[in-house]
């Protein structure tokens, strides 16, 4: 992979592969039910992870993909990706961690220092269209520190006071739906910004421990940037970039894939 290192060089070769992607894939997939780790569950006969890596590899902007695999499955995941021949891209596999955040941090550590733009993409989003990947990279190239693809919400959202045991939950507020977005991946970052917030979060965790009153967990990387005062911007996502979380999502993903295969056939 040739990574342009100076702005001048980048201008001369605007389509060069300058972004690297981290794919957190070390989750168990508890909400999907019993079975293999979620990233290895199949969609159209191909593991979700392979779909997700292919989706990134389709972008000319992406030259390197680092997969954070279940720690006990690193050789298996490496062999799996090799067997699915991913057209000339540099694919590396590292051991993931106990949380998504840790998996991303371990993946980031495997990216060469000269890479300036980093994407983070869930293995559980197998069907993200390449246009979304390209739009995120383009927004980072245009100067944004942190970029997330997102879509408007169909449902109205209410903030509640969670209650145990299925008891009715008091509603606190109803944010205006038009101002809300459901956030997807790949999220794109200036590498230095993403590394800095992950380091700060790690230091914060080390000092807070599991103490009560510790900050709530952050569920995406852009959330870490926000926590430490950075600016995050949203670009249009796509309904097909949804995350496979529950069994019904797999049914939907199979339908989307079948529709794509049917339309490719004509």
Summarize as ranges the residues that interact with Mg ion (CB under 5 A): 27
Sign of torsion over alpha carbons 197, 200, 206, 208 = negative
Pairing of strands 181-183, 146-152: antiparallel
Interface residue with ligand CTP, options 18, 19, 20, 29 (CB under 6 A): 29
Q: Is 26 in the site for ligand CTP (CB under 6 A)?
A: yes
124 binds, among Mg ion, ligand CTP, none (CB under 5 to 8 A by kind): ligand CTP
Stretch that binds ligand CTP, among 20-28, 139-147, 169-177, 207-215 (CB under 6 A): 20-28
* C-beta of residue 125 within 8 angstroms of C-beta of residue 133: no
Minimum gap (Å) between residue 98 Cβ and ligand CTP: 5
* C-beta of residue 232 within 8 angstroms of C-beta of residue 226: yes
Measured distance CA(55)–CA(64) in Å, rounded: 13
123 binds, among Mg ion, ligand CTP, none (CB under 5 to 8 A by kind): ligand CTP
Measured distance CA(230)–CA(51) in Å, rounded: 31
Minimum gap (Å) between residue 30 Cβ and ligand CTP: 3
All residues at 6 or more sequence positions from 46 whose CB lies less than 8 Å from its CB, including other chains = 84
Which residues in the 58-77 window bind ligand CTP by CB under 6 A? 68
Interface residue with ligand CTP, options 96, 126, 186, 237 (CB under 6 A): 96
Measured distance CA(147)–CA(33) in Å, rounded: 32
Minimum gap (Å) between residue 220 Cβ and ligand CTP: 9
DSSP assignment string, 182-199: EE-S-EEEEHHHHHHHHH
Strand partners, 182: 151
Q: Is 122 in the site for ligand CTP (CB under 6 A)?
A: yes
Interface residue with ligand CTP, options 59, 103, 184, 187 (CB under 6 A): 103
Instruction: Compare residues 29 and 73 and give the one whose CB is closer to ligand CTP.
Output: 29
Binding site for ligand CTP (CB under 6 A): 24-31, 38-39, 68, 96-100, 103, 122-124, 243, 245
């Amino acid at each position: 992979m040739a990574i342009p290192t100076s702005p001048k060089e980048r201008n001369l070769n605007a389509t060069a592969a300058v972004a690297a992607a981290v794919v957190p894939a070390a989750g168990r997939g508890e909400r999907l039910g019993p079975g293999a780790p979620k990233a290895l569950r199949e969609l159209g006969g191909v593991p979700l992870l392979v779909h997700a890596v292919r989706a990134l590899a389709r972008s000319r902007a992406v030259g390197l993909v680092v997969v954070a695999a279940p720690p006990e499955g690193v050789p298996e995941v490496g062999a799996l990706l090799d067997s699915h021949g991913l057209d000339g891209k540099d694919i590396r596999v590292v051991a993931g961690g106990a949380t998504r955040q840790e998996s991303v941090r371990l993946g980031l550590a495997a990216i060469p220092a000269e890479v300036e733009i980093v994407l983070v993409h869930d293995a559980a989003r197998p069907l993200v269209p390449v246009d979304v990947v390209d739009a995120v990279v383009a927004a980072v190239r245009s100067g944004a520190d942190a970029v997330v693809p997102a879509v408007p919400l169909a449902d109205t959202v209410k903030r509640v006071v969670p209650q145990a045991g299925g008891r009715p939950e008091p509603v606190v507020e109803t944010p205006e739906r038009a101002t809300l977005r459901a956030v997807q991946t790949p999220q794109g970052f200036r590498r230095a910004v993403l590394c800095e917030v992950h380091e700060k979060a790690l230091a914060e965790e080390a000092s807070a421990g599991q103490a009560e009153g510790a900050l709530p967990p952050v569920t995406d990387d852009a959330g870490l940037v926000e926590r430490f005062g950075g600016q995050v911007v949203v670009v249009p996502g796509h309904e097909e970039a949804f995350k496979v979380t529950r069994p019904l999502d797999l049914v939907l993903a199979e339908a989307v894939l079948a529709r794509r295969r049917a339309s490719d056939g004509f």
